[in-house]
Amino acid sequence: MFKNYYIIIILLSFCILSCKKSLLSEKFNDSNIEEAVKKTFYDSEITGAFIDLYPLIDYIDNNQIIFKDSCTNAMLLHMRAAKERVVKGNEALGEYIFEAEKYAKGCDDLILLNNIYNTLGIYYGSINDYKAATEALKKSVFYGKKIQDKTFVVATYARFCKLNIKIKQWSKVIDYASKGIEIINNKDSYFNTNHFNRVKELYRFRGISKLKLNKLQEANFDLDTAIIHTKNYLKTRKISKDYYNSFREIYLAKSELNEKKNDYKTANKFIKSADSLVLLINDFIKFNIEDGDSRYLYKEIKLNEDLIESNRKVIRNQNIIVVFIVLFLIGSILFIFNRINYLKKIKYLFDQKIDLNNKLKNNLIELENNNNELKINKEKIEYLLEQNKQKLFAKTFKISTYKDGVNNIINSISKLINEDKEIHPSKLLFINRSLGDIFSEEEVWLDFKAEFESNRPYFFKKLKEMCPQLSVMDQKHCAYVAINLKSKEVANIINVSPRTVETARYRIKKKIGLEEKSLDDFLKAV
């Protein structure tokens, strides 16, 4: 029984699809499909009739028809974008409208170009890219002004108003609305369709903007004019959702206007009227499903809602999985992060330990070097002390010898004095010799040389190598010059006159061969 039931359902479905395909084939075929695309595009854009749009797209998709003409492709893509907009909203326009723009650049259909850039403006406005939206709408106006039918340029000005209302640029809304109204009120303007829809919008937009700028009297005039044109619009069309929405926005604006005038009674009246229209709008959406294109639209919306609900369940499950994955990843990242920080701390402590060990090694080496240096200094000091000790002993011994010699001379002189006789010259000569033995010039020189070589140990060796022609006396004079002794001081030491010292120095300079350079500078370099 159930098997037969399923067969009947399949047969009925096949019959419905076949009937639908045959009906579409009667209206569209391969010979007229390109013209049908153009006619449907113009009908939808000029008169707002979408009755053939959905069947046409279904026919093209079912038969996988491909067009070579760029204008036809641009029109088809624009209609696909319009269809997506109705089902999914303005954000869905981007799927087709950019490709439509590429094809449209290769044709000169002004209506097509105007509508594509107008739709681009709608898309950019929906994603809040107001700069790009403004540029697109400016291009739409550029092409719209060239079209004889002013419906299109007025529609673009209305779109400009909606864009600037969104970003609260009230002065710009007034400017664009005024431009559209001026075209409509111009007797020379040609309109292929009824333009009451746009004029009611433009007056409403301008009235609301003037209200926001506190131009209350002008705002009231525009809102009243919008009411008149909205009623006139009803004479040419059936009651629609747009009709109710228009009145609701006007009533809300009138309520705000009277509130600013402190006329709260009238403001309350208009707000109640606006609230009542909400119920009518909801009822209209719920029950008023029209014939023609609305059937396709309703069916597609219903299918789209079912698809969205199904996707929501999948997304919900995926979100749960994603949450767990994210939590796991966060936990893993935190663990890795903590582990890395721990390893960094260990490495830091290890590096510090190595640095400390290196510092200790360096300090130990430095201490050893200092210790060695101290040992060397100690040895030098001990050596110097020993030398000084020996020198002190030698000087003490020498002084003792001098003292004994002087005492002997004193005793000899005392003896001569006590004899009270005339002193014989031979005895005085003996005393003189004794004094000469005590203070030997050669001994004084040797002491001087020893002290001098302790400071400049290689002086005499270098001097002899550089100037082998110098005598011992010349070397003595050079040593006295090297320690900056003046001629008079040297004369006192060696018991000669200062002039003799000067002559000796001049003779040394001549032996060395110094002409311009002084003897002092030469000896400092030795």
Return the HEC string of 183-195. Answer: HHHCCCCECCCCC
Nearest to 82 by CA among 97, 99, 61: 97
169 vs 424: which has the higher pLDDT: 169
30-47 burial code (b ≥16 CB/10 A, e <16): eeebbebbbebbbebbee
Q: Mean pLDDT of all residues in the chain?
A: 79
Q: Are 104 and 116 in contact (CB under 8 A)?
A: yes
Tell whether the torsion through CA atoms of 20, 21, 26 and 28 is positive or negative.
positive
- Tens-digit pLDDT profile for residues 449-462: 877 887 788 888 88
381 vs 145: which has the higher pLDDT: 145
What residues are paired with 163 via a beta bridge?
none
Asked whether the predicted pLDDT for residue 38 surpasses 80, the reply is yes
Q: How confident is the model at residue 524 (pLDDT cuts 50, 70, 90)?
A: confident
Percent of the chain with pLDDT over 70: 76
The one-letter code for the residue type at 256 is: E
Asked whether the predicted pLDDT for residue 164 surpasses 90, the reply is yes
The rounded distance, in Å, linking the Cα atoms of 37 and 73 is: 9
273 vs 297: which has the higher pLDDT: 273
State the CATH architecture for 441-524.
Orthogonal Bundle (1.10)
Q: Are 242 and 200 in contact (CB under 8 A)?
A: no
Q: How confident is the model at residue 327 (pLDDT cuts 50, 70, 90)?
A: very high
Fold of 31-173: 1.25.40
**DSSP H stretches of helix in 30-108:** 33-42, 53-63, 70-88, 94-104
CATH 1.25.40 domain span(s) along the chain: 31-173
| pTM (two decimals) | 0.51
Q: What is the pLDDT of residue 330?
A: 92
The rounded distance, in Å, linking the Cα atoms of 140 and 112 is: 10
SS3 149: strand
- Tens-digit pLDDT profile for residues 402-449: 666 777 777 777 777 777 566 666 666 767 666 666 666 677 777 778
Average pLDDT over residues 293-316: 60
The rounded distance, in Å, linking the Cα atoms of 355 and 361 is: 10
What residues are paired with 432 via a beta bridge?
none
CATH 1.10.10 domain span(s) along the chain: 441-524
